[in-house]
Structures are given as structure tokens and as C-alpha cells.
A and B are shown apart, each in its own frame.
Chain A
Amino acid sequence: MMVDFFIGLFLASLITAIFTTRLFRLLLWYSFNSLTLGILALLIGFKIDDGAMIITGIVTIIIKAVAIPYFLKSFSQKFHFVRQITPNVQTHHAIMLVPAILVFTFYLSQPVTNMMSGNTNYVAVSISSLFLSLMLMMEHKNVAPKIIGFLSIENSLFLLGITATNGMPMLVELGIFFDLLMAIIVINLLFHREGFQGAKDA
């Protein structure tokens, strides 16, 4: 029951992020999305008594829900980013597009979910989240929301890993976290130039 509730929250926070027009609010929704993901990993980990998944859940909360949003917020303040991030897709179009994506992906994932044991709806939700994250990435011209889109894709794949396979091997999960931290370093270096360019233009 609790798992259903948090899966719902995971999807809802992603949908809300799609409609957000402010950068800090977007970071907040990403943080909330990651928090629900971490809690889900903890709940499923306790349910199936998987120590590795419990550790992964804790690391998710620390890195994805706290550290990454904090660093991204401090980067955007340091390099004076534009905080108004109006999506290219207008709200009244997005309102129709989001349910269409949900229905389409649930239909699309049916042959996959038919082959899986356990709660198949979770897998369908993860695949829907993947498509919604892609939409988040595509609907913005600014770089910062595109990065949030990329990080949300990562969250969706993580959810797919938890629900479709009852968790990937611990080594892989930790490797993915390491790569994510590396991505943040590279993003910081690219932002540095972005801020420098912005200051030059001003």
C-alpha cells in the first residue's frame, strides 16, 4: 500500500516538474522525486529483505535528494542563471500531452509487463516516467532544465531497476552513483563557461 502511494508521488512530482516555470522550484520537485525514489528503495528493500537495496535507498536520498539539488542551486546562484524557465510546450498542450504519454506508455509496456512477475504496474510507471523525463528535457531551451531532465531519466531507470528486477547488483548501483557525481563535476565545468559567457554578454 505504501509502495503504491510513493510510486504515485514519484509520478506526480515528475508531472509537476514538467509544468514548472521557475528553476529553483524545478530543483525542489527533482529533490522530492528523488526522495520518493529513495523511500521506495527502502520500502521494497525491507519488504524483500535486501540489504543492498536498503543501502542504495539511503545513498539515493543523500546524493540525489540532498546533494545534487544543493550543488545545482549553488551553481545557478554562482553563475547567475536565468531563473525563469518557460517551457516551449504551452501548458494547455502539455495538459493533453502528459495523459497521452501515460496512456501510450502503459499500452506500449503491456507486452513487457506481461512477462514480469510481481506488480507489473510499477514497471509501466517507470517506463512512463522515462518518456515524461524525455519530454522535460525536450520542452526547454535552457541548459539547467535539460540537466534536470537527464537526472530524471536516471531516476526513472533506477525505478525500473528496482521494480523490474528487484534491484540491480550493488556494484552496478554504486558505479552509477559514481558516474552521476562525475557528471556533476563536468556540468560544473561547463556551467563555469556558461556563467563567464553570460557575464561577458552583460
Chain B
Amino acid sequence: MLEFLLLPSIIIFILSFIKSDKVNIPLAFVSFLLVLPVTKLLLMPKPYAILGDYLVADKLSTYVLFVSSVVAIGVALALLTLHKHVKVSKHAYRRFYRFFAIFWVGLIFSILSNHMGIYWIGLELATLSTVYMIRTNHTDAAHKEAWNYMIVGAIAISLILFGIILIYASAKPILGEDAMNFSLLLEHAKEIKSPFLFELGFAITTLGMFVKMGFFPMNLWLSNIERASFYPVAALFSGILESAIIIGFFRFSKIAMVINYDQLFVFVFAYTILTIFIVSFLIFRAKDFIRLFSLSGIEHMALIAMFWTSGAPFAALLHFGAHAFLKPALFLSTGVLESNGKYKIAGALRGYKGFKGSLFWFLVSLFLLAIISLPPSPMFFSELYGFGSMVSVAKESHHLLAMIGAILLLLLFLALIFYKFIEIYQSMKYEGEEGEKKVYLSELLSLVIFAVATASLILPQVMSYIEGIA
């Protein structure tokens, strides 16, 4: 099965060395094939051992990998018309795919790993390959941000490794070399003789993951990088790379819940509320699409972490799925929205003629309204379940007043974000000048895929599958 999963990446890697102008089509076609082995994996009985105890496909990892492969198809489709919106050389295209292949291999290893060490190796591989993807944009700003990503990313990933070593040290006396195995660690979590060492390791690992996701105090780091790179890279960051990080958080926090739930709860809550507080005001001041969507992505990741630790894994996973489909869709639509006047929000949704144009502005409007959790967006349901679960947890822990205060504070910040998005949407639709704009079939198709994928999340069968994971 592992060969089958890695085969498309290997083909993409080899094809990327062919110096032909026509190689872009086969490269995109093979990228669509990434979903085939993942679909096969989805249909197999779980848990399925792919590589002994090291790589195990359970319901959670398969769901995350499937969502990521759908995002990869959407990005590959949008890449076909990248040169029509921005200046990009054929060579840069091929190099982008070369590093995308490495990125996908890293992702497979980190998402499917049942081993802390392999998870870290996969994540590091994916991180390093994205550095060069940022660099495909041959501008000074992109070059500077590639270095920034390399350095801050290296610090974040080092923090994760530091935490993993401490966790390993805490569990090695009882499990030996198997102390790196997630499932065994979860099984024997209660037996760990020095829980403080585990808690410290978990806190450091989580800090590294939060830095990588752009949480406080690194809120502007990620949005600056996404602004400087081409929009498909921003889509890959929000739809795929963040998935690999959050699945690590899910796995580590599951063990931390058994060891000391109160410590995990307070740590994650304080951190995420602080992040949402800062991000909401940054969103209020955002003046371009990419930064706006990037900051909104940080807000959603914070909510996912919060719902997960509040004992609402269903809400967290539903929110995760919606975020993974909606955010790349919005990032990819900026290719069209911005190519007709960078940074211009006013009138960005006007001037689209014909069926393709009308469908484009309709889909973008849907995505924008779905991202602020208007019903029937999956985000509306996930937030409803998530906040409900937070109250239930508070009732059991006798911190009801503090939790109600936290929820009110959160609602205030979310209202601020809601207001800003509505204002932006109105400005895009009803203000500014009306100039003729062109939408290409492949990017429209990519948005349709994301719209169908988002809508499918509220189907009863999909909801019950997600409930099964939780």
C-alpha cells in the first residue's frame, strides 16, 4: 500500500526533470491521481497497518489525508492557469512540482505516522520543501520571506523535536524504544512515572506547533509569507500543511488528556483565546485578500484546537474539514480577484460576465459567507457543537462562570471578524469600478470541487463518518 501511496509523488518528481513546455499537463494529471490510493485507503477496514507499527491508517489519519488530497487536486487545477495571472517561468513551474512531490511524501509520513519520530521527520520534510515553493515567485519579497520561513520554521520544528525528546524520556523507563509509539503511549499514559516531564514536553511541542500555525506571538509571520508567495502556495499552506500540524496536536493532546486534562485545558484555552483576540483586531485592519484569509485561517485553527480540547472532537473535525476546503478555495480565487488590480477590494466581485463569470462570483460569495459561519455552512454547525461542548465541560468542572465569560469574549471577537467580512463583501460587490474580468475553466472547476466538497460535509453519511472518528 505504501508504494501505491508514494507512486504519484515519484512520477511527479521524475516528470519535473523533463525540460519540455508540454510537461505541465502530465504533471497536473498525475497530481489528480494522488486521490486514488487515498480513496482506496479510505475504503479499507481500520486500523490498517501500512508499515508495521510505524505507519498506521486509522479513521482520523485517513480523513485528514483524504481532505488533503482533494485540496491537492484543486491546487493542481488552479496551477494550470497560474501563468495567466502572474509572471512565472516554465522552469519555476517544474521546480514547484518537484518540491510538491517531496512535500506530499513528507505529508504521507507525518499524517499516517503512529510514531513521534516519523511524524517529526515527515513534518520537517514537508516544511523544507515549502521553503522552495515560496521561492518560485522570483521577487525580493518572496526571497526574504523564504529565508524567514526557513529560520522561524526551523525554530518551531526544533521546539517540536525538543518536546518529543522530553516525552520520550518520560515514557522510556516503562516502554523502552516503543515510547515513541503514539498508540502504545496512549495505552500506558497512566503508568508514566514522571508526568511533569511529559507535561513539559507536551507544552514545548504544542508551542512549536502553534508557532508553525501562526498563533500568538507569530500572527503576522505566516500571513507575510503567504502574501509574498504565489497564491497556490498559500492554498497548500492552509489546506494541507496545517492539516499535518493539527493532526500532530490531536495525537499528542489525546495522551495529554489522560495524563493531566486540567493542565492541557488551561494551557490551550489561554493560548487560543489570546490568539483569537489579537487576530480579530488584525483582521479588522487587513487591507488585502491574502492577509485577510491567512489571519482568518489562524482564527479557525485556534477554534479547532479549542474545540478538540473541550471534548468536542466532532466539532473540531467538522471545522477542520470546512476550513481545509474553504480557505484554499478563497486563496485560489485571489488569483482572479487580484490579477485585475492588486490589493483592490472595492469592486473585486464586479464585472464578471457570462456563465463562467457569474458562477465565479457566486461561488466566491458563498465561500466568503461560509467562512464566517453563516448557516448552512459546516462551520455554523461545528461552532454550535463546539460551544455547546465547552459549556458541558464547564458544568462538570465547576468553572461555569469562567467558561461563560470565555464564550462571551470569543463571541465578541468573532462578531468583529464577522462585521469585517460583511463589510469587505459589500465593498467587493457594491463599490468600486466595474471592469471586465476573465475567469478560466480550470480555476472555476477547482472552485466547484471545493464547493461540492464543503457541501458534502453536511451530508448525514459524512457527518456520521466524522462522528465515528471522534
Interface positions of A (Cβ within 8 A of B): 111-112, 115-117, 130, 134, 137, 143, 146, 150, 153-154, 157, 160-161, 164-166, 168-169, 171-172, 175-176, 178-179, 182-183, 186-187, 189-190, 193-194, 197
Hey, which chain B residues are within 8 Å of A193, CB to CB?
135, 143
Q: Given contacts A115-B196, A168-B168, A186-B150, are A178 and B162 in contact (CB under 8 A)?
A: no
Q: How far is the CA of A118 from the CA of B136 in the complex (A)?
A: 49
Total contacting residues, chain B, CB less than 8 A: 37
Least CB distance, A79 to chain B, in whole angstroms: 13
Hey, which chain B residues are within 8 Å of A160, CB to CB?
162, 165
Q: Which 8 residue pairs across A and B have the least CB separation, nearest first?
A: A172-B117, A175-B121, A115-B194, A164-B169, A179-B124, A150-B154, A153-B158, A165-B169
Q: How far is the CA of A134 from the CA of B151 in the complex (A)?
A: 11
Hey, which chain B residues are within 8 Å of A171, CB to CB?
54, 117-118
Cβ contacts B139-183/A at 8 Å (1 or 0 each): 010010011001100110010011001101110110001001000
Closest residue to A184 on the B side, CB-wise? Answer: B128
Are A112 and B200 touching (Cβ within 8 A)? yes
Hey, which chain A residues are within 8 Å of B140, CB to CB?
197
Q: Is residue B125 contacting chain A, with contact meaning CB distance below 8 A?
A: yes
Q: Is residue B131 contacting chain A, with contact meaning CB distance below 8 A?
A: yes
Q: Is residue B359 contacting chain A, with contact meaning CB distance below 8 A?
A: no
Least CB distance, A46 to chain B, in whole angstroms: 19
Q: Is residue B197 contacting chain A, with contact meaning CB distance below 8 A?
A: yes
Are B155 and A134 touching (Cβ within 8 A)? yes
Closest residue to B151 on the A side, CB-wise? Answer: A146
Hey, which chain A residues are within 8 Å of B151, CB to CB?
137, 146, 150
Q: B276-297: which residues lie under 8 A (CB-CB) from chain A? A: none
Closest residue to A146 on the B side, CB-wise? Answer: B151
Are B131 and A169 touching (Cβ within 8 A)? no
Hey, which chain B residues are within 8 Å of A190, CB to CB?
131-132, 135, 143, 146-147, 150
Least CB distance, B272 to chain A, in whole angstroms: 25
Q: Given contacts A146-B151, A150-B151, A190-B147, are A164 and B128 in contact (CB under 8 A)?
A: no
Hey, which chain B residues are within 8 Å of A165, CB to CB?
165, 168-169, 172
Cβ contacts B114-140/A at 8 Å (1 or 0 each): 000110110011001101100100001
Q: Given contacts A172-B117, A183-B128, A186-B131, are A157 and B154 in contact (CB under 8 A)?
A: no
Are B125 and A197 touching (Cβ within 8 A)? no
Least CB distance, B381 to chain A, in whole angstroms: 39
Residues of B contacting A: mostly: helix
Hey, which chain B residues are within 8 Å of A112, CB to CB?
166, 197, 200
Hey, which chain A residues are within 8 Å of B155, CB to CB?
134, 137, 150, 153
Closest residue to A117 on the B side, CB-wise? Answer: B173
Enumerate 30 A-B pairs (CB-CB under 8 Å) in ascending A order: A112-B197, A115-B196, A134-B155, A153-B154, A153-B155, A153-B158, A157-B158, A157-B161, A157-B162, A160-B165, A165-B169, A168-B117, A168-B168, A169-B180, A171-B118, A172-B118, A172-B180, A175-B118, A176-B161, A179-B121, A179-B125, A182-B129, A183-B154, A189-B132, A190-B131, A190-B135, A190-B150, A194-B143, A197-B140, A197-B143
Cβ contacts B312-330/A at 8 Å (1 or 0 each): 0000000000000000000
Least CB distance, A187 to chain B, in whole angstroms: 7
Least CB distance, A163 to chain B, in whole angstroms: 9
Hey, which chain A residues are within 8 Å of B129, CB to CB?
182, 186
Q: How far is the CA of A137 from the CA of B128 in the complex (A)?
A: 18
Hey, which chain B residues are within 8 Å of A182, CB to CB?
102, 124-125, 128-129
Q: How far is the CA of A7 from the CA of B55 in the complex (A)?
A: 36
Q: How far is the CA of A161 from the CA of B163 in the complex (A)?
A: 11
Q: How far is the CA of A193 from the CA of B143 in the complex (A)?
A: 8
Are B180 and A164 touching (Cβ within 8 A)? no
Q: How far is the CA of A182 from the CA of B157 in the complex (A)?
A: 14
Least CB distance, A48 to chain B, in whole angstroms: 13
Hey, which chain B residues are within 8 Å of A168, CB to CB?
117, 165, 168, 180
Are B162 and A130 touching (Cβ within 8 A)? yes
Q: How far is the CA of A130 from the CA of B204 in the complex (A)?
A: 13
Hey, which chain B residues are within 8 Å of A134, CB to CB?
155
Are A179 and B128 touching (Cβ within 8 A)? yes
Hey, which chain A residues are within 8 Å of B143, CB to CB?
190, 193-194, 197
Hey, which chain A residues are within 8 Å of B154, CB to CB?
150, 153, 183
Hey, which chain A residues are within 8 Å of B196, CB to CB?
111, 115
| Most chain B beta-carbon contacts within 10 A, residue among A130, A153, A186 | A186
Are B121 and A176 touching (Cβ within 8 A)? yes
Closest residue to B140 on the A side, CB-wise? Answer: A197
Least CB distance, B355 to chain A, in whole angstroms: 42
Q: B192-208: which residues lie under 8 A (CB-CB) from chain A? A: 194, 196-197, 200
Are A172 and B121 touching (Cβ within 8 A)? yes
Least CB distance, A9 to chain B, in whole angstroms: 22
Q: B252-283: which residues lie under 8 A (CB-CB) from chain A? A: none
Least CB distance, A26 to chain B, in whole angstroms: 16
Q: How far is the CA of A183 from the CA of B168 in the complex (A)?
A: 25
Hey, which chain A residues are within 8 Å of B173, CB to CB?
117
Are A161 and B165 touching (Cβ within 8 A)? yes
Hey, which chain B residues are within 8 Å of A166, CB to CB?
172
Are B117 and A169 touching (Cβ within 8 A)? yes
Closest residue to B124 on the A side, CB-wise? Answer: A179
Q: How far is the CA of A188 from the CA of B288 in the complex (A)?
A: 33
Least CB distance, A155 to chain B, in whole angstroms: 11
Q: How far is the CA of A187 from the CA of B151 in the complex (A)?
A: 11
Closest residue to A167 on the B side, CB-wise? Answer: B177
